[in-house]
């Protein structure tokens, strides 16, 4: 028994040795995310002289900054007339269709961001109830991550929230 290894190599199960590397990377990512989540939960407490929470004040500053900087929705009226030219069969260009789809995706993201930021601000101020979506959004802001409710509508990125927001603008 003492001669057997503590950990079975992936080759025993017919897997490539890179499977072990991927498993270890995923496990360490999970641990890091959990540590960041715990840190975010712990930093939410502590009172200020005005009775508000220190974490809440930080989040309010972040929310106000993002609300002010959200780009305007894109409008088809701003597109050059050249993009509306039709081919011999009367169809719009593939690129025009792609542009319309990307504009719609961007507008959906901007709408979701605006609504959720206003909802989070109202919840922090006590005007509205804090939902689980808003709570996970607040925790993401505390550790500089893109909120999960935005990543479902967003472009793919591994950047932290501050850099992601710069790319968005």
CATH number of 59-70+92-169: 1.20.1270.280
φ/ψ (deg, to 5) at 51 = 90, -10
CA nearest neighbour of 111 among 71, 78, 76, 142:
71
CA distance linking residue 134 with residue 120, whole number of Å: 6
Mean pLDDT, the chain, integer: 82
CA nearest neighbour of 133 among 156, 108, 154, 116:
116
Q: What is the mean pLDDT of residues 71-96?
A: 76
pLDDT digits (tens, 9 = 90+) for 12-61: 888 888 888 888 899 998 888 788 767 666 655 444 444 445 567 888 88
Let me know: does 134 contact 120? Beta carbons within 8 Å.
yes
Q: What confidence score (pLDDT) does residue 56 get?
A: 76
pLDDT digits (tens, 9 = 90+) for 85-133: 777 777 777 787 888 888 899 999 999 999 999 999 999 888 988 898 9
Let me know: does 146 contact 153? Beta carbons within 8 Å.
no
pTM score of the predicted model: 0.66
Domain ranges of the chain: 59-70+92-169
Quickly state the pLDDT bin for 147 (edges 50, 70, 90).
Answer: very high
CA distance linking residue 58 with residue 140, whole number of Å: 12
Q: Could you tell me which residue, 151 or 53, shows the higher pLDDT?
A: 151
Q: What confidence score (pLDDT) does residue 53 get?
A: 55
């Amino acid at each position: 028994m003492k001669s057997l290894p503590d950990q079975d190599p992936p080759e025993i199960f017919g897997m490539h040795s890179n499977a072990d590397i991927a498993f270890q990377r995923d496990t360490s990512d999970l641990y890091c995310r959990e540590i960041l989540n715990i840190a975010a939960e712990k930093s939410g407490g502590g009172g200020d002289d005005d009775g508000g929470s220190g974490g809440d004040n930080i989040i309010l500053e972040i929310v106000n900054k993002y609300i002010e900087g959200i780009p305007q929705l894109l409008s088809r009226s701003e597109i050059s007339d050249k993009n509306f030219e039709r081919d011999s069969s009367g169809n719009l260009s593939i690129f025009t269709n792609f542009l319309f789809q990307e504009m719609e995706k961007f507008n959906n993201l901007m709408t979701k961001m605006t609504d959720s930021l206003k909802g989070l601000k109202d919840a922090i101020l006590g005007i509205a109830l804090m939902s689980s979506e808003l709570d996970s959004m607040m925790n993401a802001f505390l550790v500089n991550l893109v909120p999960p409710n935005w990543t479902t509508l967003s472009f793919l990125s591994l950047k932290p929230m501050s850099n992601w927001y710069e790319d968005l603008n």
